[in-house]
Structure 1
């Protein structure tokens, strides 16, 4: 019943955007998803590497700036049924301050509900300052090491998105700018990094029920670009 409601709400959100004239096409290699343009990588990279790759593709690591976008992206990724994790543009700028990083100057604060259960869970000894969408938590957001490398499709790995933690603050990185995150992007118990185990980047994956989780920015995973 909950799945039907989730899919129904997503269809309404996508249809609403289309009705409002959001029908422009996305340039290659981006795909149109509702009013948004996304690219899913076919190779693994650390959060920092993924950020550069997205910039080189004319975009940025995906920033989940609204509830609408979160529902649309999460539903789309879940529908792919790939079982993989994806890095996104969330980053912990200072302890506890998660932001969406877009263009180097914009750092939008994350809202907390995108993190999956027990996320973010990085620590000082095991820093996880980057973010990904994680399959094990149903594509909620998790934190992970920014050096983590995600595996390919159909292997249950994470995909990096554009969140990054800077000086304790989680932000979205977009076009070199940082925008402060509000905490709704993290799944329950996320972010869970610490000073001993820092997790200053973010990803999204099914293990977190398609919410965001924090992870080490050194972790190498696949990633999602947005334009």
Structure 2
């Protein structure tokens, strides 16, 4: 079944996951699209992106919405017409949407070795010490997802993943951590949850009031 999962992340938030195994035509016939969405779909050169786009519309249907309920602001951030918050992510054979009463940012990433090579560019690599090869890849991918998720909430020009977004040093088994964004002379805090879906990492960030037991090392 293409709809892989519906999961409550908390009392205010639900996650919908679609595993894409249909053809483009099957997905296209199953959704109704606005003219602007149809034009956007036709402009995509990759069939993978097209199928991701269509599977997101199927997930909207599972959540009680459709393409007419979704719009994007001038920064490309998605919104729902009823005022609920939504975050969208697509990676290869999976799409995910998160719908919440809270401000939310979600990211889905496939596990790939290239993430380890890029890690020094986006994170504090001391957080990867003393890990097995498997856990090193998982944690580096989770951290990348953390940065992406926080950025989706803030979506401000100039934010650097490495220089402005700092995660607490967490264990993979905890499936959660704290994050601080230091940008434009102020600090903002986020709670993050994550888990694994087959060979993918899912990460979701929420605005938080304080860091509480934040144990990560941050830079000024």
TM score, norm. by length of structure 2: 0.30
In terms of fraction of residues, the more helix-rich structure is: 2
TM score, norm. by length of structure 1: 0.29
Pick 1 or 2: higher relative contact order, CA cutoff 8 A, min separation 6.
1
Q: Which has the larger radius of gyration?
A: 2
